Amino acid sequence: MNYKVIDREKYYRNGVYRHFTEDCKCSVSMTARVDVTDLVKHSKETGTKFYINFLYLLSKTLNSRDDYRMQYLWQSDELICYDVINPTQYVFHEDTETCTPVYTTYYENYNEFYKNAVADVEAAKQTHEYLLDADHPNWFDASYVSWLSYDSLNVELPDGYLYFLPIVNWGKYREENGRLMMPLTVRLNHAIADGYLVAIVYRLLEKEIAEFCGGNT
């Protein structure tokens, strides 16, 4: 786990950062539908899991800009940017109706990521423990709400809590006008992101999906 310390005086969002860490501590969250028609088709044709393919593309998207890899270290009062962030996915246990966090390392190489992600999920199925720990500071939350194709979702953190890593949720895709559309919710702290930077996640993700399904992995 490596990171660089950001000089806040030279940080390009310095004024915004100061305002939303001192005057108005809050987050910004958006929900929009993503066209996953081609990704669903590609997953079926290749015999791969749509969920893991999407998790890979989401991780690749969030690692493509420094803005999405930021964090605040309260111990040293430092703004940092991780070299890489990894997804914390979840396994749902039908018998207990509880979840187990799954720490999956992000690899830019698709085949390596896919192999490890599948193995991580299978290992997590063997336990019903929550197993959330503090040894994974550069991990973002990636949670699939598989039971509903929702229209809005909000994740709240305590007022004043400076947590900067992305929190991402997505639901079931459904057919709309002949296309498969999936709700995706992206939450970021307003100190390091605004509506533009959240919206860019969707644009970058759509580009990654198109390139992936075209064979450019």
**pLDDT tens-digit map of 1-36:** 799 999 999 999 999 999 999 999 989 999 999 999
Superfamily classification of domain 3-213: Chloramphenicol acetyltransferase-like domain (3.30.559.10)
Alpha-carbon distance of 47 to 82, in angstroms, equals: 33
**Spans of all domains in the chain:** 3-213
What pLDDT is recorded for position 163?
93
Measured on CA atoms in the order 96, 98, 104, 108, is the torsion positive or negative? positive
What pLDDT is recorded for position 217?
46
Which tokens go with 198?
Answer: 């959240």
Q: How close are the terminal C-alpha atoms of the chain, in Å? A: 25
What pLDDT is recorded for position 159?
64
Across 137-155, average pLDDT: 92
Angle, helices 50-62 vs 195-213, to 10°: value is 130
Across 43-52, average pLDDT: 96
Which tokens go with 140?
Answer: 């973002």
Predicted TM-score (pTM) of the model is 0.94
What pLDDT is recorded for position 216?
45
Across 193-201, average pLDDT: 96
What pLDDT is recorded for position 156?
79
User: By the 8 A CB rule, do 140 and 166 touch?
Assistant: yes
Could you tell me which residues are beta bridge partners of residue 89? Answer: 102
Cα angle: 102, vertex 216, 180; to 5 degrees: 65
